[in-house]
C-alpha cells in the first residue's frame, strides 16, 4: 500500500507544471502562495488527526531548518521560472540533474569517496545537458521559448534541491512533519521578502482560473502530496525510492508531449535519456532489488 501511495504522489508531482503554466502571476508569488497554503494545510491536518507538533524538534535543528527552508523556497522559485521559459519536459529533465549535483556536493563537502562508476555518470549527465542545450532556441522559435534561460533555472533548481537533501540527511531527532513544517515556514519568510523586494504584494489581478490552479498547487501538490510522500517513504527501501522516483520525469515528458503538445527534438530526447540513465546508474547498487 505504501508503494502505491508513493507512486501516486510521484505522478502527482509530475503534473505541477501543467497548473503553474495556467497561473498568470510572477513566479515569486506562486512559490510564496504554495509555501503558505502548504504550511496551513499541514497544520490543519495535524489538528484534525490529533497529531502533536513537537516545536522543540524544530528549534533543536533551527539553523539547518532555516537554511534548508530558504533553499526549498528558492528551489520552487527557480522551478516556476523554468516552466515559464521552456517546456515542461525540458524543465523537468534539467531539474533531474539533482542526483548528479548531490553526488558532486557529497564528494566535495561530505568527503565521500567517489568510484569510477559515479565519475563516469557525472560526465554522461554533462553530455546529456549539452545535447539539451544544443540548438534549442532555434528548434521551436514559434512557441516563443527561451530554452537556455529555462534550462539554467532548471539547473539552479537541481542545485538547491541537492543541498536541501544533503542538509535533511544531517538532521537529528526530528520527525518528517516537523521538518516539513519548519522548512515550509522558512520558505514562506524568504519568499515574502523576495516578492516585497523584487515583485510586489499586489494580487488584485488574480483571475478565477489562476486562483483555482494556485489553490490546487498549494493544497494538492504541496500540503497533501508532501504528507503522503513522507508517510509512505519511511516504509520503502532507499533503493526502491531511487528507482521509483524516475516516474516523475517520465510522466512529465509524456504530459508535455501528448497533453500540452510542447515541442521536443531528437537531441533533447537523447540528452534526457543520458541524464536519466546516468542518475539511475549512479544510484543503483550492485544487488538484487525485491
CA 68 – CA 105 distance, rounded (Å): 15
Q: What's the confidence (pLDDT) of residue 98?
A: 67
CA 262 – CA 270 distance, rounded (Å): 17
Q: What's the confidence (pLDDT) of residue 164?
A: 87
Q: What's the confidence (pLDDT) of residue 6?
A: 86
Q: Which residues of 221-259 are buried (b: 16+ CB within 10 A; e: fewer)?
A: bbbbbbbbbeebbeeeeeeeebeebbbbbbbbbebbbee
pTM of the predicted model, to two decimals? 0.85
In a domain, 135, yes or no: yes
Q: Is the pLDDT of residue 151 over 60?
A: yes
Q: Which domain holds residue 260?
A: 2-283
Chain segment 82-104, per-residue pLDDT in tens: 999 999 988 988 887 766 776 77
Q: What's the confidence (pLDDT) of residue 182?
A: 95
In a domain, 288, yes or no: no
Chain segment 176-194, per-residue pLDDT in tens: 889 999 999 999 999 999 9
Closest CA to 194 of 94, 58, 76: 76
136 within 8 A of 151, measured Cβ to Cβ: yes
181 within 8 A of 43, measured Cβ to Cβ: yes
**74 phi-psi bin (left φ>0, alpha ψ -120 to 50, beta other):** alpha
Q: Is the pLDDT of residue 53 over 80?
A: yes
CA 102 – CA 245 distance, rounded (Å): 15
Q: What's the confidence (pLDDT) of residue 84?
A: 92
Count of domains observed in the chain: 1
In a domain, 290, yes or no: no
Give, to the nearest 10 degrees, the angle between helix 116-133 and helix 88-95. 160
CA 155 – CA 162 distance, rounded (Å): 10
In a domain, 259, yes or no: yes
| DSSP codes of every residue in 234-254 | TTS-HHHHHHHTTHHHHHHHH
Q: What's the confidence (pLDDT) of residue 183?
A: 94
CA-based torsion, 129, 135, 136, 139: positive or negative: negative
In a domain, 289, yes or no: no
Residue with cell 513544517: 181
Residue with cell 548531490: 102
Band of residue 110 on the pLDDT scale cut at 50, 70, 90: low
Amino acid at each position: 500500500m505504501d508503494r502505491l501511495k508513493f507512486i501516486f504522489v510521484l505522478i502527482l508531482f509530475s503534473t505541477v507544471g501543467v497548473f503553474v503554466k495556467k497561473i498568470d502571476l510572477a513566479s515569486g508569488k506562486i512559490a510564496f502562495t504554495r509555501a503558505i497554503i502548504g504550511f496551513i494545510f499541514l497544520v490543519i491536518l495535524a489538528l484534525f488527526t490529533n497529531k502533536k507538533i513537537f516545536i522543540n524538534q524544530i528549534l533543536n535543528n533551527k539553523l539547518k531548518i532555516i537554511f534548508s527552508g530558504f533553499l526549498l523556497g528558492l528551489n520552487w522559485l527557480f522551478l516556476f521560472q523554468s516552466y515559464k521559459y521552456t517546456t515542461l519536459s525540458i524543465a523537468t529533465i534539467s531539474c533531474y540533474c539533482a542526483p548528479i549535483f548531490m553526488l558532486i556536493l557529497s564528494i566535495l563537502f561530505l568527503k565521500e569517496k567517489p568510484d569510477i562508476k559515479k565519475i563516469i555518470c557525472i560526465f554522461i549527465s554533462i553530455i546529456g545537458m549539452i545535447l539539451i542545450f544544443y540548438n534549442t532556441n532555434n528548434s521551436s522559435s514559434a512557441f516563443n521559448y527561451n530554452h537556455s534561460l529555462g534550462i539554467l533555472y532548471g539547473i539552479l533548481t537541481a542545485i538547491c534541491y541537492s543541498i536541501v537533501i544533503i542538509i535533511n540527511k544531517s538532521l537529528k531527532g526530528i520527525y518528517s512533519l516537523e521538518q516539513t513544517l519548519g522548512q515550509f515556514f522558512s520558505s514562506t519568510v524568504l519568499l515574502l521578502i523576495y516578492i516585497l523586494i523584487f515583485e510586489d504584494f499586489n494580487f488584485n489581478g488574480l483571475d478565477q482560473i489562476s486562483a483555482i490552479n494556485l489553490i490546487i498547487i498549494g493544497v494538492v501538490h504541496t500540503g497533501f502530496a508532501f504528507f503522503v510522500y513522507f508517510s509512505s517513504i519511511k516504509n520503502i527501501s532507499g533503493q526502491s525510492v531511487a528507482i521509483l522516483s524516475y516516474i516523475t520525469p517520465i510522466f512529465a515528458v509524456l504530459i508535455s508531449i501528448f497533453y500540452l503538445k510542447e515541442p521536443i527534438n531528437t537531441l533533447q530526447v537523447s540528452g534526457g535519456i543520458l541524464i536519466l540513465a546516468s542518475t539511475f546508474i549512479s544510484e543503483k547498487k550492485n544487488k538484487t532489488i525485491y
